[in-house]
């Protein structure tokens, strides 16, 4: 008989601008990640190709928010 043993390391290579996702979604995802973490699972997230300012062109040429493009636009879930 075959038994399935789930992996204990999960690599997540996606990211999304935090401002583009609803807060309830982000909280729910974090809670689910926490539940798996408490069971011994490890999550590896992308670090973001453009640092803390988000993707260039996402909000402005620099990827930052605000009228002067000086407010960082963090990525989720890679904060």
Q: What is the pLDDT of residues 29-69, one digit of tens each?
A: 999 999 999 999 998 887 666 665 567 766 677 778 888 87
Task: Report the distance separating Cα 20 and Cα 14, nearest Å.
Answer: 14
Kind and range of the H or E run holding 16:
strand 16-17
**Is 4 inside any structural domain?**
no
Q: Is the pTM of this model over 0.85?
A: no
Task: Report the distance separating Cα 34 and Cα 43, nearest Å.
Answer: 10
Give the mean pLDDT of the chain: 81
pLDDT of residue 29: 92
**Is 3 inside any structural domain?**
no
pLDDT of residue 52: 57
Domain count, the chain: 1
> Which structural domain range is residue 42 located in?
9-76
Measured in degrees and rounded to the nearest 5, phi and psi for residue 70 equal -120, 5
């Amino acid at each position: 008989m075959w038994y399935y043993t789930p992996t204990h390391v999960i690599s997540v290579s996606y990211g999304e601008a935090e401002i583009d996702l609803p807060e309830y979604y982000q909280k729910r995802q974090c809670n689910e990640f926490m539940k798996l973490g408490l069971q011994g699972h490890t999550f590896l997230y992308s670090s973001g190709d453009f640092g803390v300012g988000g993707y260039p062109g996402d909000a402005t040429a620099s990827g930052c928010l605000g009228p002067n493009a000086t407010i960082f636009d963090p990525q989720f879930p890679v904060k």
